[in-house]
Amino acid sequence: MSEISASIVKKLREETGAGMMECKKALGEAGGDFEKAKIILRKRGIAIADKKSARAAKEGIIASYIHIGDKVGVLVEINCESDFVARNPDFREFVKNITLQIAAAEPRYVAREDVPAAIVEREKEIAVAQVKNKPPQAIAKIVEGKLDKFYQTVCLLDQGYVRDQNQTIKDLVQATVAKLGENILVRRFIRWKVGEALDGAQPPVEAPAQPVQS
């Protein structure tokens, strides 16, 4: 295998967020293959995140973001284990990217587990109705696929990352856990858009135009 250049290590670090030594090690394991090294780092990140997922995350920050034009606003709470990591620039950058994701992709829930059972059941009924003429053995698989698409639309962690559609927000969280060495949780968020209806409410009604007095 040829010597691994500093430039490819730097590129891998920029794309994955992993440390320089981790990137160099992954490239060595992959025989210099860039894409294989990315997969190695992603798997390693998942393994680290799984080990840390049971650890309490009671520190963190609340961050806000107002989109250009002042029509969309986001408020999010993201937790970590220590105040030290909460003040880390990489953690702050991660939080910023999450606020941008919420503003751009309009998720309604953090995770699949947060979607009310009644809404999941409604989506199942819609999916079944759409494929009722298919063979019975195929319906369950098709409905499962449609539910996955639904989750990828409304659940933040299932969404494709707007800055890299090859990874999900869950992948981004796991990579950040691996990089910072602490459990990280996206706990909750609120997204507002000017003029949108409140939950269970009708959109605001515009007042009729008044005649111009001559």
Per-residue model confidence (pLDDT) at position 10: 82
Per-residue model confidence (pLDDT) at position 30: 86
Per-residue model confidence (pLDDT) at position 174: 86
Per-residue model confidence (pLDDT) at position 13: 75
- Output the 3-class SS for 174-213: HHHHHHHCCCCEEEEEEEEECCCCCCCCCCCCCCCCCCCC
Q: For 64, left (φ over 0), alpha (ψ -120 to 50), or beta? A: beta
Which superfamily does CATH assign the domain made up of 56-115+155-194 to?
A: Elongation factor Ts, dimerisation domain (3.30.479.20)
Per-residue model confidence (pLDDT) at position 50: 57
Successive 10-residue mean pLDDT values, the chain, 214 residues: 76 71 83 84 62 70 95 96 93 96 96 94 90 80 90 95 91 87 92 82 46 43
Spans of all domains in the chain: 1-52, 56-115+155-194, 116-151
CATH of 1-52, one of 1.10.30.50, 1.10.8.10, 2.10.109.10, 3.40.50.720: 1.10.8.10
Q: How far apart are CA 184 and CA 173, in angstroms?
A: 7
Per-residue model confidence (pLDDT) at position 46: 54
Rounded to two decimals, the pTM is 0.69
Per-residue model confidence (pLDDT) at position 156: 97
